[in-house]
Amino acid sequence: MSDTRRRLLHELATAEGPVSGPTLAERLGVSRAAVWKQVEALREAGFDVESDADGYAVRAVPGYGAEAIAFGLDAPYAVEYHDRLPSTNDRARELAVDGATDRVVVAGEQTGGRGRLDRPWSSPSGGVYASLLCRPERPPAHVPVFTLAAAVAVTRACREAGVDAVIKWPNDVLVAGSERKLAGVLTEMEGEADRVSWLIVGIGANVDVDTTDLPETATSVRAEGGNADRRRFCQRIVETFHEYRTDPEATLPAWREHAVTLGRAVRVETPGGVVEGEAVDVEFPGALVVRTADGDRVVHAGDCEHLRPA
């Protein structure tokens, strides 16, 4: 989407009433003809844009797509939308290699969605599949905090949609009181020793999805009785992620507040072996502190299992 289109959407979304063509032209620094052309393009994308003597006003927004997600999005990311992609993370990687930043790639469905360690991610139509591309000025060692930020963002979006969601360390979003998974996060990056070159945070959330299209251990916002508006859900993920991206140190307190792992007996399969004990805290940038019979162990990566019901 062009920058002019994005700024036009912002102007129309934040206006109190109709905005005149000349005002829009001036604010966007383009001709009135260019404004008209962009408005026509929005109509083609499914927007109901009314125009009368007072100017342009949006009366209805299409269901899902780049323009719909960009309309009213309160975070500076350009949206790229595809009805279907193998993987939004792979597409975001292409953009990263081309030098892009501050993008969000969204797909209506994925044919090759990936989880961690190359596990498959079921991605039927109706889910939210979004990869955020950014270039934080941070060392690669800090990257896990952005995964935690994404988990907070998606948990909050689920709660706003009316589903009581919680986070299982490090990145699983579950329905409270069950181990049924609503969403997951796959973070990928490239960097030098002291600085991240690009970071892609991929989020898969079962929003407007029937559980028969998902693995047995999964559930969806719709199945849990929540509001399955994908557009709003996607916008809220991007907005909350951005909030923590710009203030990573604020992530951990938010994560603790939403976490279900702390205080639980856990078994974590790490690349260096199994660690069992009580999860007592999370440390920057996202390590789990496990109290074991041999003292506290700090676990940086792994698959975590909650051993007993809460």
**Residues found near ligand BT5 in the complex (CB under 6 A):** 87-89, 110, 113-117, 119, 121-122, 129, 131, 171, 181, 184-186, 202-204, 206, 214-215, 217-218
Angle at the Cα of 214 from the Cα atoms of 210 and 219, rounded to 5 degrees: 70
Minimal distance, residue 155 CB to ligand BT5, in Å = 13
Minimal distance, residue 94 CB to ligand BT5, in Å = 13
Which pair of tokens denotes residue 80? Answer: 């790229």
Residues contacting 28, CB < 8 A, separation 6+: 4, 7, 8, 11, 34, 35
Q: Answer whether 285's CB lies under 8 Å from 251's CB.
A: no
Minimal distance, residue 145 CB to ligand BT5, in Å = 17
Based on CB atoms, which residue is closest to ligand BT5, 71 or 129? 129
Based on CB atoms, which residue is closest to ligand BT5, 87 or 251? 87
Distance CA 21, CA 27 (A): 10
Minimal distance, residue 211 CB to ligand BT5, in Å = 9
Minimal distance, residue 93 CB to ligand BT5, in Å = 10
Based on CB atoms, which residue is closest to ligand BT5, 184 or 286? 184
Residue 48 falls in which region: left (phi positive, over 0), alpha (psi -120 to 50) or beta: beta
Q: What is the largest CA-CA distance in the chain?
A: 76
Which pair of tokens denotes residue 15? Answer: 């206006």
Based on CB atoms, which residue is closest to ligand BT5, 88 or 261? 88
Based on CB atoms, which residue is closest to ligand BT5, 57 or 301? 301
